[in-house]
Amino acid sequence: MWWTITGNYGNVLPIDWSKSYARQLHTEALHLEEKKDEEELNLDLSDDEELQAAFDMHSLIVSSLHHEPLFSADDVINEIEGIMKEADDFEEETAMNNRSSTSIELLQLKYKSDITPSNIEGKDTSALKSLSTVALNELYEELEGTVKELSETLIQQLALRDELEYEKELKNQFISLLLSLQKKRRELPISSSGIKVPGSKKVISPDGFGKYLTMSIPYNAERVGPPTNEELQIFIKIMKAMNEDSPVVPTLLTDYILKVVCPTNN
């Protein structure tokens, strides 16, 4: 632009602005000194080659495979157990760190003051007074839940105890009737004109006394486990009738065979 303006004055040569005095003053006033040429860039690629060799992932993987020791199955299992244990410890530590201040108060109350549902009344109330309302409410709910859980457990244990006592009573009654039947069979009168009892040297007197004492109750000896309470009740009912030499013994035996020994599908 400067050459275009100053070149229109005929024979006067255009003024070289870059070499003029005005340009020099202008440059000094505005601090526009020319910067020295920047140093030439170092285009030495030797460093890049060294970095490339250092980060050669293929070589790293191959070298690690050659130097990696072989582990046995026991070593692997032990390492897995160690990792799982560390994970459990970390979870427990995290859970403890995440507990609220109220939960921490409750834990301190449990383990330091030893306050439990069974002995709260005998403890110093200062530990309870130091708790906040929220902590007391949570403690109350926890104690209420503990009482409920223990009550359910107590009911179950009482029911189990009653069932075991009932089973014991049935077994004692069964044994008592069995001994009574054996004794009566041994005491049956022997007569030359009597009827011989099958499988025994005893005979039944002609008057028919002891007719039902010698009857047997069918039972599968190959079955696994003792008879159930229901079966014991049936046996006791039949044995009572046999002990009394009652004529209902055949009917009871028939019902037992049809319902228990050989049940019919309706």
- Give tens-digit pLDDT for 103-162: 555 555 554 444 454 455 545 567 777 778 888 888 888 889 999 999 999 999 999 999
Question: What's the pLDDT at 48?
Answer: 62
What pLDDT does 3 receive?
62
Is 143 a domain residue? no
Residue 204 lies in a domain: yes
Say which DSSP state 9 is in: S
- What is the pLDDT at residue 28? 79
> Do the domain assignments include residue 189?
yes
Domain total of the chain: 1
Residue 165 domain-assigned (yes or no)? yes
Q: What is the DSSP letter of 18?
A: G
The DSSP letter of residue 169 is H
Residue 94 domain flag: no
Query: Which residue in the block uniquely carries the two structure tokens 């030439």?
Result: 40
Q: Where in the sequence is the domain holding 178, given as residue range(s)? A: 161-261
Helix (H, G, I), strand (E, B) or coil at 38: coil
E strands in the chain: 195-196, 203-204
Q: How far apart are CA 231 and CA 217, in angstroms?
A: 12
Burial of residue 120 (CB within 10 Å: 0-12, 13-18, 19+) is middle
Terminal alpha carbon distance of the chain:
120
Please report whether residue 141 resides in a domain.
Answer: no
Q: d(Cα 167, Cα 231) in Å, to the nearest integer? A: 11
Question: Does residue 245 contact residue 211 with C-beta atoms inside 8 Å?
Answer: yes
**Positions of the chain with pLDDT under 70:** 1-15, 32-81, 84, 87-125, 189-209, 265-266
CA-only gyration radius of the chain, Å: 53
How high is the pLDDT of residue 114? 47
Q: Is residue 130 part of a domain?
A: no
